[in-house]
Amino acid sequence: MMTRLAAALILAPSLAGAAETELASRIERVTVYPDGAVVTRMGKAELLQGASQIVLRGLPATIDPASIRVEGKGNGAFAVGAVDVRLTPGEARPVLDAVIEGKLKALREEKEVLAGRAASIEAKRATIERFAQIGPDKLGPDGKALPVADWPAVFDAIGTSLVKVHEELRGVRARTSDVDAEIAALERAQPQTLRTGAPKRDIAIAVEATAPVAAEFAVTYRVGGAGWTPQYEARLTTGSGTAKPAIDLVRRAELRQRTGEDWSDIALTLSTTRSAGGTRAPDLPPMQVMFFEPPAIYESRQRFGAAPAAPAPMAAARAKAEADAESTQKVARSVAAEIQTAQVEASAYQASFQVPGRVSIPQDGSSKTVVLSQNKVEPTLSARVTPELEETAYLEAAFTHEEVAALLPGTVALHRDGTYIGRGRLGLVAPGDKVELGFGADDKLKVSRAPVRRRENEPTWLGQTRTDLREFRTVVKSLHAQPVKVTVTERIPFSESTAITVETIAAQTTPPTEKQVGDKRGVSAWTFDLAPGTEKEIKVSYRIKWPGDREVTYAPQPASASSQRTGN
């Protein structure tokens, strides 16, 4: 008779009077989570009549004792009792992971370089802002007044410099965020370092049989030092003639483990459950106008304390290596190889991917990549322009995620019509959510933006109101042979002070199709279809009023998490 029993974990004292039999076992299957793994070992033992103990020796010390579960079956009746978890001295052997340590060292050095660049850019911005506070009446030779005819050039130079500095700072912060994510992923993959004499775990299982029994046991436990990170590849075919645009979206998983035991020829499952942000147009943040408050002296000194650092060439070298690798992979063949994908099981709260076949993953921390899914979707193509920051149109592809499993945050390699164009990033995408991916600059859309006029009055008596009138003109011209959908985003400063009023001049402003983009105050969008060879003009005009005895400053506000678009 076959008997199957599940024993709850009971941390009981060792049964010293019972005979012990060592259980020879092998790892049969592993479920890997983003921050850990659950291992199932299978073993056989001949049980003696009466009470005895079955012992698994030399297991990793990182086992979570509360996660241990024991199941047994045999050709006769027997009972499983207490499970005793023992901490024993391990073998004296050092473990060195030069691969992960080298990557972490390089990433940390790059992070230090980026911090230096950010501090340098902040110092540059502070200098420009202080220069902007000097009136034109003191900018001429020998401190004399600057001719009125030269004032617009000074204002434009200050504005252009601030926009450029802001864009440089945005790029440095974006790369710093990516570096932090890579460091966190590598640190999660590292196990607790095994030093000489590192302890191990023994699991002793109390059993009792009325007669000798040939039994099989399955012991399941959770360990740290393992994890997987999602990676994606999006290949866009823009289509021509009657062919519709399409995206081949491949979902992959990169695995690493340093648990202290080799996973050889195992059944592998990946779970999205946790057991323990340019290739597109820059994102335009809202801008708030407020009264200027001079910074404290010690803050100014602190902002100028860091010395400029040379930019790291790592990102450019990595992009070149990926492009070279992509070009060498185009090998002529008569029949395309079939890509094996995982079988997905999705529930209301998680998804699991059963990797086909048997897999081996060494414990040295080296990465292993498996394909989880591959799908073809039909996107909607459009172009997005942020002319205030960059006079370039970027191609975007949007589609609805219709798979049963959510897309976890990860990097995505982007290809357009067979050409690798760079890497982006996907945020968390639930089934039914919209995905927007940027596929690089659209050179067949010509964009120009210029100030039409600016008029600022100076108060001549006490209590007079100061005004600042600004008007800008953006023109988008299509060189495509087919109609294209274009979205232009512009911003008007907003104020939270009742003493500062911002007024949009409707007569000189093109009505937007979206007055406010998400929850970004002051950011509007104009979406239109542009026929071949035609152009579209967009005007924005506004007036700011504030008391004449005060100074105002403009501060870009970070976008909230709810307003971020899904994609890279």
Q: Which residue has the higher pLDDT, 202 or 124?
A: 202
Q: Which residue has the higher pLDDT, 192 or 114?
A: 114
- pLDDT given for residue 565 in this prediction: 55
Q: Which residue has the higher pLDDT, 79 or 160?
A: 79
- pLDDT given for residue 143 in this prediction: 57
Of the pLDDT bands very low, low, confident and very high (cuts 50, 70, 90), residue 61 is confident
326-341 pLDDT tens trace: 544 443 345 555 666 6
Residues above pLDDT 90, as percent of the chain: 38
228-279 pLDDT tens trace: 999 999 999 998 767 899 999 999 999 999 988 889 999 999 998 876 535 6
Mean pLDDT (whole number) for 283-290:
82
Mean pLDDT (whole number) for 13-28:
72
Residues above pLDDT 70, as percent of the chain: 76
Of the pLDDT bands very low, low, confident and very high (cuts 50, 70, 90), residue 1 is very low
- pLDDT given for residue 229 in this prediction: 92
Average pLDDT value for the chain:
81
In the predicted structure, residue 563 carries a pLDDT above the cut 80: no
CA nearest 405: which of 437, 379, 429?
A: 429
- Evaluate whether 478 touches 535 at the Cβ level (below 8 Å): yes
In the predicted structure, residue 309 carries a pLDDT above the cut 50: no
- pLDDT given for residue 457 in this prediction: 80
Q: Which residue has the higher pLDDT, 191 or 17?
A: 191
Report phi then psi at 320, rounded to 5: -65, -40
Rounded distance between C-alpha atoms, residue 211 and residue 48, angstroms: 7
Q: Give whole-number Cα distances, 230 to 215, 222, 276, 538, in Å.
A: 40, 21, 18, 41
- pLDDT given for residue 346 in this prediction: 63
Q: Give whole-number Cα distances, 527 to 144, 437, 524, 534, in Å.
A: 48, 18, 10, 15
In the predicted structure, residue 185 carries a pLDDT above the cut 60: yes
Torsion of CA 255, 258, 260, 261, to 10 degrees: 20
Mean pLDDT (whole number) for 509-516:
95
349-401 pLDDT tens trace: 677 888 888 999 988 888 899 999 899 999 999 999 999 999 999 999 999 99
Q: Which residue type is seen at 21?
A: T
- pLDDT given for residue 281 in this prediction: 78
Would you tell me the crossing angle of helices 151-189 and 98-132 to the nearest 10 degrees? Answer: 160
Rounded distance between C-alpha atoms, residue 188 and residue 128, angstroms: 42
Query: Where do the domains of the chain lie?
Result: 5-90+197-223, 227-281+315-326+338-441
Q: Give whole-number Cα distances, 432 to 256, 390, 409, 548, in Å.
A: 31, 32, 16, 53
Poorest-confidence range of 199-213, 316-330, 334-348? 316-330
- pLDDT given for residue 382 in this prediction: 95
Three-state SS letters, 415-472: EECCEEEEEEEECCECCCCEEEEEEEECCCEEEEEEEEEEEECCCCCCCCEEEEEEEE
In the predicted structure, residue 566 carries a pLDDT above the cut 50: yes
- pLDDT given for residue 535 in this prediction: 96
**pTM of this prediction?**
0.61
- pLDDT given for residue 417 in this prediction: 94
Residue 448 in tokens: 């120009």
Of the pLDDT bands very low, low, confident and very high (cuts 50, 70, 90), residue 197 is low
- pLDDT given for residue 139 in this prediction: 59
Of the pLDDT bands very low, low, confident and very high (cuts 50, 70, 90), residue 298 is very low
- pLDDT given for residue 332 in this prediction: 39
